[in-house]
Structure formats: structure tokens, C-alpha cells
Structure 1
Amino acid sequence: MPASFEINETTITQKIDDPWLKGKGIELLVKRDDLLHPLINGNKWRKLKYNLIQMQSQNKTELLTFGGAFSNHIHACAAAGKMFGLTTHGIIRGPNLDQSNPTIQFAQQCGMQLHVVNRIEYKLRSDAQYLADLRTKFPNAYFLAEGGTNTYAIQGCAELAQSLPKHDYLICPTGSGGTLAGLIEGSNVTTQIIGIAVLKQAQYLIEEVRKLSAKARSQTNWQLLCDFHGGGYGKFTPELWAFCQHMSTTHNLPLEPIYSGKMLYALWQLIEQDYFPFGSKIIAVHTGGLQGLEGLKYRKLI
């Protein structure tokens, strides 16, 4: 096991120069966390960092986690395993393991041991007895929840907020709530923080964020917007995908339509509605996940 788990965390903050934004009096910067590392990037590294340190402090030599077949989290954990010389296990939601799936292929190339389970068993991934049984089976493993969100994940995401230039609004995509909670923890109380829920009926995440962040429980400078999910998790409209392609060609900003693309498209609509006061400085966090484009191509969704 390595003495330390480190990558270079310096990434650019890209200004989006657009006449339409200028007309609205908006300065928009994108924190390019997709450029953190070729394989372990975005919020996945932020969440993993302190979990790996915690794993080491517990003298665990293996990492076990959960995810779907196209999961960015599984991809990042597998890459971290290869990079840092760790044995990794992925409990994959089945019922079958598609060996042609690019995310699965990558995880296997990194040496991750994949354990496919049916959907009924996968639903037990937070069940105490199920986890106790798994711990008996994998005694040397550090267990990390699906998506990587827990207390230790918050520390890494808080560091991201602390690294940013001055701004009025901070916006991020929200899947499990960990990144949003970390940004609230790491931000000044004068900053307005907005999460864009990427899944349907995500109001329950408001309580999850409060559980993860003491500041979220006591401060009112944040909100989760739940009306921009585009049909649900993993779903997106032709208009959203066209927007992603436009941002890539016009502003050299690569996006996928599941997380960061969905968030920026929502931001565009909010700016159109004059949601932000004239003169606002906004930072949008690109949380990575571009590996997911290969999976969308594989499924002929793009």
C-alpha cells in the first residue's frame, strides 16, 4: 500500500465567454474538475481521497464498493486500485455482467474483482445484516457506499470549495448529495450554493445533505432544485444532448448529459429566466464522468 494517496489537484477554472451571458450580466466560470486526472477525476477523486486515507488507518488492504454497470464510481475505484496497488471489489447490479460494456471492461483491465448480484440483493446494499455477511466474506476490505458518499467524502469536496476564486453562486449536479454537502461545508456563508438533482423525485436528498453537513442543517444559503432531471436518472432529452454538443464545439467544454451537462443546461435555463441578479459571478463545478459517454455510445443513446 502506498505511503500516501495523492494526485495533482490543481485544475483550471474556465471562463465561458458568450455574448448572451454578457447581455444578462453574468460572469460564468467552470471549475474543470474533469481534468484532475485522466482516470480518477471530478468529484470521484474528491470523495475517494479521504476514504483511502481512512482505509489505510484501519489497516484494510482492499476496497469494496457498489455500483451499476456503467457507474463512474466503479470506474474511478477500479482506476484507483490499479494506480495505488489496491485490491478492489465491485458489487455490480445485475442480473448479468455484460463483458462488452466499456465500463466493465475497464474495471476488469484495472484488476477489479466484479461480483454481479441480482436487483433484489443489490437493494440490500445498505442493510446492516447484509453488510455484516459481506464483511465476513471480505474481512480485509474497507466498505464504501454506492457513489462514494459518506462523511470522509465531504472533506474532499469541501477542499474543492475552498480552492475556488471569489464568486456569488456555486452550482453542481447532485446524485447522492455528497458533493453538494461538501461544497456547503467548504463555502463562505455569503455564497449561494445550488444543487441540480439529476434524478426524479429527489426531494429526499435535502435531508441526506443535512445529515452529511452540519452547515447545511444550520444555514439557509443553499438549495436543491428538483425540476431539471430531464426524465430521471440516466435519461435526457435531445435538446439537452444538443446543448452538450454545442458547449463542446463552441466553448471547448466537453460534457456528458447525465451529470454536468444536465447541470449546465439547467443553469442556462435559470439564466434565461433572470434567476440571477445582473452582475452575478457564478462558478459551475464540472464533476467529471466523461467516461460515461462511451457507455451511452455503446447503448446507442448518443
Structure 2
Amino acid sequence: MLISKDVHNQLIDNKLFIKREDLIHPHISGNKYRKLKYNLEEASKKGDNSLLTFGGAFSNHIAAVAAAGNEFGFRTIGVVRGEELQNKIAKNPTLSFAKACGMTLKFVSRSDYRLKSEAIFINALEEEFGNFYLIPEGGTNNLAVKGCEEILAEDDDQFDFICCAVGTGGTISGIINSSKPHQKILGFPALKGSFLSEDISKFAVKSNWELIMDYHFGGYAKINSELVSFINEFRTEYKIMLDPIYTGKMMYGIFDLMKRGYFPKTSKILVIHTGGLQGIKGMNIVLQQKGLPLINE
């Protein structure tokens, strides 16, 4: 689906706005800034000068933690899924950026990575690296949700719908908690699975939300030429870049829902741009390998 005349008409009827959280910081942008804010404060309060976290090959979270450590004086350790990446750092824009920020990268097998929440695995990391402040994969914990509760401001009370991409559920949980009773929060998961509702329910204190499960494009980091075309056309039309993992899928879904008449006429819709643009370079490497069109950078 490309951007059609019908969608343009719906844009006028529905009044869609984008909150540019991606512009908060050049490297710690969007929801990553929000999630890290109170975690960094807590680490400082505890006297922990090392941050350890987890992520994949093109992880926004790994890049953001590395940048935050470099800017605020923390040693950073990134536990990366996939031993085969160890010899490919120079060809990986995310990992090379993290390394340039001073992050120590530890590569583990996928089977070991699945143990990242187990005490025996964490203890082994402490033996190797000493004491550290642990930030979970994706950054979601109570302090991250607290930071994401600050995404909405008083001026945002005017909106009827608030739309957000969903990864681990921390960002949307914060938005739900700070939303008003008249607002409906719509989450667009980037991956398949009903478990997200349970994860969000651990943090969200209100029930005015819904997950729209139809726009994950087959799962996490899955993408096709139609989505690439939409992202490129969106940038040409509106001068705003979207990433292919989160915001691109969300916006595709919003435009499709508008085309189908999901939103009542005169609805005011706020879309949260959560950043993640650093991942475009990595995705283009994958797209090139598959012979698919590239995302315009």
C-alpha cells in the first residue's frame, strides 16, 4: 500500500500529528532516552559506574546505552546475541558505533543468550566484568516506564487516539499510565506473539489500550519491498524518516486503518515517533543481500 488519495483525505478528516521524540538527542533518541533517564540516575545513586545490557546485531538499545555511557561517563558492556558477529564488527554499523563509544562487546551463542535473565548467567557476567548496573534487553523496567510516562505533555490531552510502536512494552506502558480517560492508546507490535499483552499489563495501570496485531510483516525485523516503498514515499511526502523495525510498520498500519475508516471522522490522532533510525543502515545491508529495494538514508 502506497500513500493514496483516500489516505490524504482521511488525514484531513482525522487530523494526524507526529510527536518527534526522535529529535531528542542525535544518538540517545526517542524512547531510548526516556527509558535510560531514570536508570542512569539510579546507577549514579548506587555508585555503579558500569552499565551492562543485552541486544542483537542492529539493536537500538545497544547503540543508545553505548552513547549514553560515552556521554555521561559510564563504562558500558553489551552482551550481543550471535557468536558469529564477533568477526564482523567493522561491517556492522551498530556494533562499530557501540565500540567507538567505548562499549565492551561480549558475543554469546543464541542458546546462551536465552539464559540472560537467569541468575547463573548473570553471576558469570559479574565474575567476568565485576559489579555493574543491569539494564534488561530493550531497556524495559519500572524506571524505564517512569521515564516513558513523561512522553505525553499537558498539550497532548486534546488527542483522541495515541499510537505507539511496541517492542518490549515499556514505552506504551508509560504512555498508558499518563494518558487521560477519554484517550485510546493503540500499540503496533513489531513482533508476533500474544505475550506482549501480559508484559504490558505488568506495568500499565489503565485499560484504555489495544494492540493492533496485523502489521508486524511476519515478525521482528521482517520486512518486504512494500514496506520499503511506503517508508521511502512517506519520507518524500512528509520529510520524515521512519525506521523499518518499529515506526515504519506502525505508520503503515495507521494509514491502512485510516483507509479502512477505523478512526471516526474529526478524530485527533497523535503518533509517537520513537526513533530507531540508526537501524536503517543495518537493515539496508540485509535488504541488499536479499536483492530487495533499499531504504533511502
Q: Who is 2:4 aligned against?
A: none
Aligned match for 1:20, one of 9, 16, 19: 9
- Find 2:227's aligned residue among 240, 247, 251: 240
The aligned runs of 1:29-40 (5 Å cut-off) are 29-40=17-28
Answering whether residue 202 of structure 2 is matched by residue 211 of structure 1, we say yes
2:144 aligns with 153
Q: Partner of 2:169 in structure 1?
A: 177
Matched-pair contact (CA < 8 Å) for 2:244–2:283: no
Between the aligned partners of 1:112 and 1:22, the Cα distance in structure 2 is 43
Residues 189-240 of structure 1 show CA distances to partners (whole Å, capped at 9, x for unaligned) of 2110010011012x11101011122x1xxx3310111121111110122111
**1:12 aligned residue:** none
SS at match of 1:81: helix
Task: Classify the secondary structure of the residue corresponding to 1:172.
Answer: strand
Q: Which of the pair has the greater relative contact order for Cα pairs under 8 Å at 6+ separation?
A: 2
Shift of residue 57, structure 1, vs aligned partner:
1.4
Higher helix share: 2
Alignment of 1:35-184 (within 5 A): 35-96=23-84, 97=86, 98-99=88-89, 100-162=91-153, 164-165=155-156, 166-184=158-176
1:74–1:107 Cα contact (<8 Å) kept: yes
Write the deviation string for residues 12-71 of structure 1: whole angstroms up to 9, x where unpaired: xxxxxx742345x11000011111111110111110101101111111010000000110
Q: Tell me how far apart the structure 2 counterparts of residues 48 and 163 of structure 1 sit (CA, whole Å).
A: 22
2 CA distance for matches of 1:250 and 1:195? 24
**Aligned partners of 2:266, 2:279: CA distance in 1, in Å?**
35
* SS of residue paired to 1:241: helix
Identity level (%): 44
Distance in 1, Cα, partners of 2:56 & 2:154: 31
Per-residue CA deviation, residues 216-273 of structure 1 (Å, 9 max, x unaligned), is xxx3310111121111110122111111111101111111121001000000111111
Shift of 1:152: 0.4
- Match of residue 286, structure 1, among 273, 279, 294: 273
The offset of 1:135, in angstroms, is 2.8
Question: What letter matches 1:111 in structure 2?
Answer: G
5+ residue gaps, structure 2, are 1-6
Shift of 1:285: 0.5
* 8 Å Cα contact 1:102-1:295 kept in structure 2: yes
Q: Distance in 2 between matches of 1:111 and 1:200?
A: 34
Cα distance in 2 for partners of 1:162, 1:123 equals: 37
Pick which of 131-140 and 42-51 moved more: 131-140
In structure 2, C-alpha distance between the alignment counterparts of 1:205 and 1:65, rounded to whole Å: 21
1:295 aligns with 2:282: yes
Once residues 268 and 244 of structure 1 are traced to their aligned partners in structure 2, the CA distance between those partners, rounded to angstroms, is 12
What SS does the aligned partner of 1:243 have? helix
Deviations 1:155-179 (A, max 9, x none): 1110002355221100000010011
Gaps of 5+ in 1: 1-17
Instruction: Find the residue that maps to 1:161 and give its secondary structure.
Output: coil
Could you say what secondary structure the match of 2:149 adopts? Answer: helix
Q: Which moved more, 1:128-137 or 1:247-256?
A: 128-137
CA contact (8 A) 2:165 2:188 kept: yes
Q: By how many angstroms is 1:154 displaced?
A: 0.4
Letter in structure 2 aligned against 1:116? F
Two-structure CA RMSD over aligned residues (Å): 1.4
Higher deviation after alignment, 127-136 or 183-192: 127-136
- Separation in 2, partners of 1:231, 1:212: 26
Aligned length: 279
* TM-score for the superposition, normalised by structure 2: 0.90
Helix, strand or coil at the partner of 1:256: coil
Question: Structure 1 residues 87 and 163, CA, compared in 2 at 3 Å: closer, same or farther?
Answer: farther
> Using the alignment, how far apart are the partners of 2:125 and 2:19 within structure 1?
38
CA contact (8 A) 1:81 1:88 kept: yes
Which letter maps to 2:135?
L
Report runs of 4+ in structure 1 exceeding 4 Å deviation: none
Residue 234 of structure 1 aligns with an amino acid whose one-letter code is: A
Tell me what 1:228 maps to. 215
Residue identity opposite 1:20 in structure 2: N
